[in-house]
């Protein structure tokens, strides 16, 4: 624990407990529903009594949170990390109880999905802001990297536990029990957040304790300030390129099936390694490289994106066999997760006013995750357009990935250059 505190730049065990509480909360809130969509998709349909299209609508409504990330920036300035995390988990606890015990209609499920989307808009930026709050500028790469690794490990272990139980008991019963058990975990998480996460930012400003209007105006001023910072936009565009590449990575499993005719079992094993395992490993590695090798998460992202570009060029433009393709795709997964693990860390390194970091994370989150609005549809349209010739579609998807990765590389390296110039001016 002392080693971890030292590497994160934490002063004491209480700060470590606060950091771990924030990170854990960032996964636990999603463990009872969203984390099931990949592993327990069909069982989820049965539990909710919905069809495929209706479940798609539910997840789309949750995804509406994207439109509220920027207004959520004002909320993250105005209120403390502690308040936002506790509020988000409390709302999720109540609504999940409705889902589990009352078997709500599809209409009610849609309302709940909208509520979850609104919660997401302020909750996730609050988690990111919590990482910023507990770590200093020199150790934020590792702070964000551990966030990704711990979340991946939690999701993998919790889902594996349910899979193991499902081998002996009815899947639907177990899934509903798992949803309840994971929902109940929110109660101790709320207590931990209350105990170990102090008030911060504008919410902690006692000099204007009675002046709610002052705090609200200051929060809005902070949001507008962040929106006018070119470096914030450069960092956000870099993050957008990374997340676009992450979505493309998802298509590597069906690519191997369609082009190289791997079996379902072979591609499933590849998928576990390429997503769950690589995501877990890359988080810690990314943080260490960012903080102790490059001394900059933006520079590390730029190098990782450049490596991804080279790999995609080899896959697209060179004739290679099955084994080499698999090796290259595994390396692509590693470079993708290296950059994804510290996705928004560059924003935390921009030396913005600490009171406005919540807005910065909200704006960054909006742009970073924006590709979900068009990339899935774009890739799906390409695959439908070249039905029977899927290899051509995947080639086009990867070619787009090359352009996106190159743009992200340029953006990351330009951001690195501007940050270096700013530091030099400060020294002078």
Mean pLDDT, rounded, for 231-253: 90
- Domain 6-195 identical in fold to domain 211-428: yes
Per-residue pLDDT for 410 more than 90?
yes
| Residue 67 CB burial class (10 angstroms; 0-12, 13-18, ≥19) | middle
Least confident of 15-29, 307-321, 347-361: 347-361
Output the pLDDT for position 423. 78
Rounded distance between C-alpha atoms, residue 374 and residue 255, angstroms: 20
User: Cα separation of 198 and 130, whole Å?
Assistant: 10
For 212-231, b where at least 16 C-beta lie within 10 A, e where not — what string? eeebeebbeebbebbeebeb
Mean pLDDT along residues 145-162: 84
Q: What is the pTM of this model?
A: 0.80
- pLDDT tens-digit map of 247-294: 888 888 788 878 887 776 677 677 767 777 787 788 888 888 988 888
CB 89 within 8 A of CB 186: yes
Residue percentage of the chain with pLDDT more than 70 = 92
User: Where is average pLDDT lowest: 10-14, 125-129, 314-318?
Assistant: 10-14
Tell me how far CA of residue 407 lies from CA of 204, 229, 306, 412, in angstroms.
40, 19, 10, 9
Residue 205 is predicted with a pLDDT of 55
**Any idea what DSSP says for residue 277?**
I
The Cα 233–Cα 286 span in angstroms is: 22
Percent of the chain with pLDDT over 90: 35
Q: What is the mean pLDDT of the chain?
A: 85
Closest CA to 289 of 330, 232, 328, 339: 339
Rg (CA), the chain: 22
- Structural domain spans, the chain: 6-195, 211-428
pLDDT of residue 112: 96
Domain 211-428 adopts which CATH fold? Answer: Growth Hormone; Chain: A; (1.20.1250)
Residue 360: how many CB atoms within 10 A of its CB?
A: 32
The CATH classification number of 6-195 equals 1.20.1250.20
pLDDT at res. 366: 86
Q: What is the pLDDT of residues 349-382, one digit of tens each?
A: 888 877 777 788 888 888 888 888 888 888 888 8
Phi and psi, residue 304, nearest 5°: -65, -40
Distance CA 226, CA 236 (A): 12
């Amino acid at each position: 624990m002392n080693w971890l505190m030292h590497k994160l730049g934490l002063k004491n065990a209480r700060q470590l407990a606060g950091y771990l509480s924030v990170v854990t909360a960032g996964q636990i809130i999603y463990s009872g529903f969203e984390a099931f969509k990949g592993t327990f998709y069909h069982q989820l349909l049965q539990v909710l009594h919905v069809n495929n299209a209706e479940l798609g609508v539910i997840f789309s409504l949750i995804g509406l949170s994207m439109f509220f990330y920027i207004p959520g920036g004002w909320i993250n300035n105005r209120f403390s990390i502690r308040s936002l995390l506790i509020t988000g988990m409390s709302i999720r606890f109540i609504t999940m109880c409705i889902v589990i015990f009352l078997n709500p209609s599809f209409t009610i499920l849609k309302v709940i999905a909208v509520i979850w989307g609104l919660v997401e808009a302020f909750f996730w930026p609050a988690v990111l802001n919590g990482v910023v709050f507990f770590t200093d500028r020199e150790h934020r790469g590792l702070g964000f990297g551990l966030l990704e690794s711990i979340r991946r490990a939690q999701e993998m272990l919790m889902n594996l536990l349910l899979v193991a139980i499902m081998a002996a008991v009815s899947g639907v019963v177990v899934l509903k029990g798992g949803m309840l058990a994971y929902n109940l975990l929110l109660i101790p998480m709320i207590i931990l957040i209350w105990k170990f996460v102090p008030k911060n930012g504008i919410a902690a400003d006692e000099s204007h304790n009675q002046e709610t209007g002052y705090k609200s105006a200051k929060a809005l001023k902070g949001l507008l300030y962040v929106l006018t910072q070119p470096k914030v936009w450069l960092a956000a565009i870099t993050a957008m390129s990374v997340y676009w590449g992450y979505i493309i990575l998802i298509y590597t499993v069906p690519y191997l099936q369609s082009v190289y005719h791997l079996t379902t079992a072979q591609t499933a094993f590849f998928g576990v390694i390429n997503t769950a395992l690589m995501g877990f490993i890359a988080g810690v590695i990314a943080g260490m490289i960012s903080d102790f090798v490059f001394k900059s998460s933006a520079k590390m992202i730029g190098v990782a994106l450049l490596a991804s570009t080279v790999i995609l060029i080899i896959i697209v433009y060179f004739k290679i066999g099955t084994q080499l393709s698999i090796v290259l795709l595994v390396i692509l997964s590693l470079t993708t997760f290296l950059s994804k693990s510290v996705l928004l860390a560059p924003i935390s390194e921009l030396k913005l006013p600490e009171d406005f970091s919540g807005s910065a994370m909200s704006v960054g989150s909006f742009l970073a995750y924006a590709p979900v609005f068009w990339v899935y549809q774009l890739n799906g349209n390409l695959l439908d357009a070249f039905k029977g010739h899927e290899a051509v579609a995947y080639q086009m998807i990867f070619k787009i990935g090359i352009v996106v990765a190159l743009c992200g590389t340029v953006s990351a390296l330009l951001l690195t250059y501007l940050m270096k110039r700013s530091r030099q001016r400060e020294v002078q």
